[in-house]
Structure 1
Amino acid sequence: MRPFITNVNYHFILKQAMNAFYGAQNTNDEGVKNALRFSCIDKATAIFDALDSEQEQLIEEIFHIHSEEDLEKYDATLQDYLLPFPTIDDAVVKKLFPKAKKLKAPTISPEEMARLVFLGWNDTGAQKKFIISPYKEQLTGIQGNFTPIAKKGICAFCHENGRVGLFKADIKTKGNTDQYRAVGQYICADSIACSAQMKDCTKLDEFIGVLKS
């Protein structure tokens, strides 16, 4: 079976596997346990447009996770079918951000790069954040001002509580090429940590869509 699971798919499927296992610990009713397992399997399956029989069988293995060891083995099996995030080098960065003349790709190990959902990094001197993410089946780059805030908050992308800041960019007002309006989201200051927590790309894709519209 060929790799078919993106990193964001992996995070979501593993979360459902954990929900099925740990949730089953809260009841002695086998009917309730099985209902929970089937529900988690349905949720994991639903993120794909289509699956062949082998792929379906892999997702359905969630039903047979009855121990911590089973969960660890399932995690390892999922990783065998991951689609790696594309390697981002200086040439890719130059192509996606042509106006940022001196911008370089961040230093990240190949192993860490392969497990990203999106690549993001901060230029603290310029108070900017750069993000590269698959969007409509091709790599897309967005950039904006980034202002950290003192208190923790919920990230708009990964939906986790942590250190966030306001990522803000200006876009042209429709019908008027001389006027701009600011759009922004509160997102994690640490984009690598944010990527590792992503279980759904909907909000990130929506934000990219707004900036690219």
Structure 2
Amino acid sequence: MPTPFIRNHQFNAIRRQSELLIQALRTVADRNVLKAVRDNAAYKLDELFPELPDERRRELAALSELDTAEQFQQYLEGLEPWREAFPPMSNNQLRKLFPKTKKLNAPDMALLDFRRLTYLGWTDIAANRMYLVYPSDGRYIGIAGRFTAVNKKGYCLICNGYEEIALFTVKTRPANSPPDYYKAFGNYICLDSQACNRRIADTAALEQFIQTIREGKAADA
């Protein structure tokens, strides 16, 4: 079996390049333009995996040489064994991430496909709470906050998709601040985290948001 190395957001980025190539092949007649699109796809894939062995890079770069929708589909299906799963975790591990939440309504782990997760997110409608878990440096980072549904579409901070969003607000207690002083950080993210995970192709915005919260020392909101 191949050693998995393609994270969820990287697979999404590869799929996005395949979609751009299919669109170009269907709509562009100029060979020079098509070549530029193919070259750009090869460059984007190379950028995704800067430390990958040359042989594996060449296999991925084959995407830029494909011509039909069927070939692109077969290519993507062939990547499935190489997909690296989100580190599996138990409900007990989840509870330890959110010790101040007395009753954590966590998702059913048995129903999740961890290969298709960049982050684990869910909402507790009854408690008006939103939770986010992200793996970093061999451990999990858990962030909890309040969510406000806006009942309209907008751009998600995490995946940059135009979808149904909610305002995710996290209270923080800065260092050396009075006990009753809090600062709130908020951003609009997808209400449906599974749909968000299907679109995210870059983790930079997500990691920056998490870093901002952690530097502010998240407090239970």
1:192-211 equivalences in 2 (<5 Å): 192-211=194-213
Asked if the contact 2:105–2:124 (Cα under 8 Å) also holds between the matched residues in 1, the reply is no
Contact 1:34 1:63 in 2 (8 A): no
Aligned length: 213
**Cα contact 2:83–2:115 (8 A) shared by 1:** no
4+ residue segments displaced more than 3 Å: 108-111
> What is the root-mean-square deviation of aligned Cα atoms in Å?
1.7
Cα shift readout 1:69-110 (whole Å, capped 9, x = no counterpart): 101101101212100112232111012112213214302545
Per the alignment, residue 48 of structure 1 pairs with 49
Alignment of 1:184 onto 2:170: no
Deviation at 1:161, TM superposition (A): 1.2
Closer, same or farther: CA 137–29 of 1 in aligned 2, 3 Å: farther
Give CA-to-partner distance per residue, 1:131-176, whole Å, 9 cap, x none.
Answer: 1112344321111001101221111111111111110011123442
Contact 1:90 1:104 in 2 (8 A): no
- C-alpha deviation, 1:45, in angstroms: 1.5
| Structure 1 counterpart SS, 2:146 | strand
Stretches of structure 2 that go unaligned for 5 or more consecutive residues are 216-221
TM-score (norm 1): 0.93
C-alpha distance in 2, partners of 1:3/1:159? 26
CA distance in 1, matches of 2:142, 2:50: 26
Identical-pair percentage: 30
- Shift, 1:191, TM fit: 1.0
**Structure 1 unaligned runs (5+)?**
none
- Cα 1:57–1:91 change in 2 (3 A) is same
State the distance in 2 between where 1:177 and 1:196 align.
Answer: 41
Partner of 2:92, secondary structure, is helix
Partner of 2:218: none
**Greater strand share, 1 or 2?**
1
Specify whether residues 108 and 90 from structure 1 end up closer, same or farther in structure 2 by C-alpha distance, changes over 3 A only: closer
Q: CA distance change for structure 1 residues 65 and 177 in 2, over 3 Å: closer, same or farther? A: farther
